Amino acid sequence: MTEERPARLDVGVVGTGRVGAVLGAALARAGHHVVAGYGVSLTSRTRADALLPGVPLLDVPRVLARSGLVLLTVPDDALPGLVEGLARTREIRAGQLIVHTSGRYGVGVLDPATRAGALPLALHPAMTFTGTSVDLQRLSGATFGVTAPEPLWPVAEALVVEMGSEPIRVAEERRALYHAALAHGANHLVTLINDAMDLLRSAGVDEPDRMLAPLLSAALDNSLRQGDEALTGPVARGDAGTVDSHLREITAALPEAAGAYAALARRTAARALADGRLKASDAEALLDVLAEPPAPD
């Protein structure tokens, strides 16, 4: 006997940007029916054409009128106003699933819709999006931070699993901290890597990505597997002279990156001290060097 698939839903996507178009396509791939979308910019409309072919782009009221599940994929700062506006205009129907993808918010931001009878879900994909079909493959094995009323947890779980991902519960009151952790790890990693590539170019390396890729891949893998045991390099060794030379060279080549290097080195030293990898006697000279990064010439 084969297991029956969950009921198929008519899905509307409000915001066919990088996230909305991809998640709409993922739900369509799972057998749901994307019946309408809303996108204003040329880029959003182009993404919709590529990832949601044949789906009409309508105004928001008509998207809601056609949809049993409404996916709100708008910027975090725009979400509260959008929900309040929809509730005031009575566009939301009782029993309609209203799903947002913001990492910052839980289901509380959907309270105006919930009071109108909607069923609220917060499904945040913990991945970065390009807004192309490549993202559909990346969803496989990704995780979603999920916040939902307990009776709706099976619905949230089913939707995430159908998109090929794993649902992870995040408490309502922990959403902002959860999102901060992801942004700190992912967004700042991009800045860190691009600073490193700029510095390598200044050092005469023509293809810094080729040099960094195996090193950073190994560092990431070791960090995820070993935690602070993966710490290596001059800070973890307490090599104050090397760190001092680093700061001077970075200040000369890319002065705006020197403060970030010093801040991360101080944080690395603190973790290495707590882990016992850095001796207190070695840390003193190191922290003196890091106290005031050298000013650019």
Residues 104 and 229 in one domain: no
38, part of any domain: yes
Say if 3 falls within a structural domain: no
Regarding whether 233 and 135 lie in a shared domain, the answer is no
Q: Please tell me the predicted confidence (pLDDT) of residue 292.
A: 74
CATH number of the structural domain spanning residue 253: 1.10.1040
Structural domain that includes position 139: 10-170
Angle at 80 between CA 79 and CA 84, to 5 degrees: 115
- pLDDT over 70 (residue 202): yes
Return the closest-CA partner of residue 119 out of 98, 89, 105, 93. 98
Q: How far apart are CA 144 and CA 166, in angstroms?
A: 6
Q: Which residues does 232 contact at the CB level (< 8 Å), separation at least 6?
A: none
pLDDT score, position 222: 97
- Cα(156)–Cα(49) distance, integer angstroms: 27
Residue 61 has pLDDT above 80, yes or no: yes
- Burial of 269 by CB count in 10 Å (0-12 exposed, 13-18 middle, 19+ buried)? buried
Reported as a single tens digit per residue, the pLDDT across 100-113 is 999 999 999 999 99
Judgement on whether residues 139 and 269 belong to the same structural domain of the protein: no
CATH number at residue 66: 3.40.50.720
Q: Are residues 94 and 200 in the same domain?
A: no
C-beta of residue 268 within 8 angstroms of C-beta of residue 235: yes
E strands, 140-202, where?
Answer: 143-147, 166-169
Asked whether residue 250 carries a pLDDT value surpassing 50, the answer given is yes
Structure tokens at 62: 């008509």
Residues 18 and 150 in one domain: yes
Average pLDDT over residues 265-290: 93
Distance CA 181, CA 82 (A): 26
Cβ atoms of 258 and 294 within 8 Å: the answer is yes
| Residue 110: DSSP 8-state | G
Under the banding of pLDDT at 50, 70 and 90, the label for residue 7 is: confident
Q: Which of 137, 170, 203 is at the close of a domain?
A: 170
pLDDT (tens digit per residue) in 9-52: 999 999 999 999 999 999 999 999 999 999 999 999 999 999 99
* Beta-strand runs (E) in 7-68: 10-14, 33-38
Number of domains the chain is built from: 2
Whether 4 maps to a domain, the answer reads: no
pLDDT at 3: 44
**Last residue of a domain, which of 116, 146, 170?**
170
CA-to-CA dists, residue 107 to 102, 116, 185, 235, angstroms: 10, 14, 24, 42
Mean pLDDT value of segment 169-197:
97
Shared domain for 164 and 184, answered yes or no, is no
DSSP 295: P
Of 107, 139, 170, which one is at a domain's C-terminal end? 170
Q: pTM of the predicted model, to two decimals?
A: 0.89
More confident residue, 277 or 297: 277
Q: pLDDT grade, residue 6 (50/70/90)?
A: low
210 and 246 housed in the same domain: yes
Instruction: Note whether 208 and 241 are same-domain residues.
Output: yes
User: Does residue 6 contact residue 64 with C-beta atoms inside 8 Å?
Assistant: no
Residues 145 and 61 in one domain: yes
- 197, 209 contact by CB (below 8 A): yes
Task: Give a yes or no: residue 31 inside a domain.
Answer: yes
Residue 205: closest CA among 263, 258, 253: 253
- Amino acid identity of residue 151, one-letter, is P
Q: Which long-range contacts (CB under 8 A, 24 or more apart) does 123-128 make?
A: 123/99, 123/156, 123/159, 123/160, 123/167, 124/170, 124/179, 125/19, 125/23, 125/101, 125/165, 126/168, 126/182, 128/186
- pLDDT computed for residue 294 by the predictor: 63
Alpha-carbon gap, residue 288 to 240, rounded angstroms = 9
Q: Considering the domain boundaries, does residue 297 fall inside one?
A: no
Same domain, 202 and 155: no
Mean pLDDT of the region 211-233: 96
In a domain, 188, yes or no: yes
User: What is the per-residue pLDDT across 148-170, written as a single tens digit (0 to 9) for each?
Assistant: 999 999 999 999 999 999 999 99
Question: What are the residues whose beta carbons fall under 8 Å from the beta carbon of 294, sequence distance 6 or more?
Answer: 247, 248, 251, 258
Cα separation values, 15 from 22, 41, 71, 162, Å: 11, 10, 8, 21
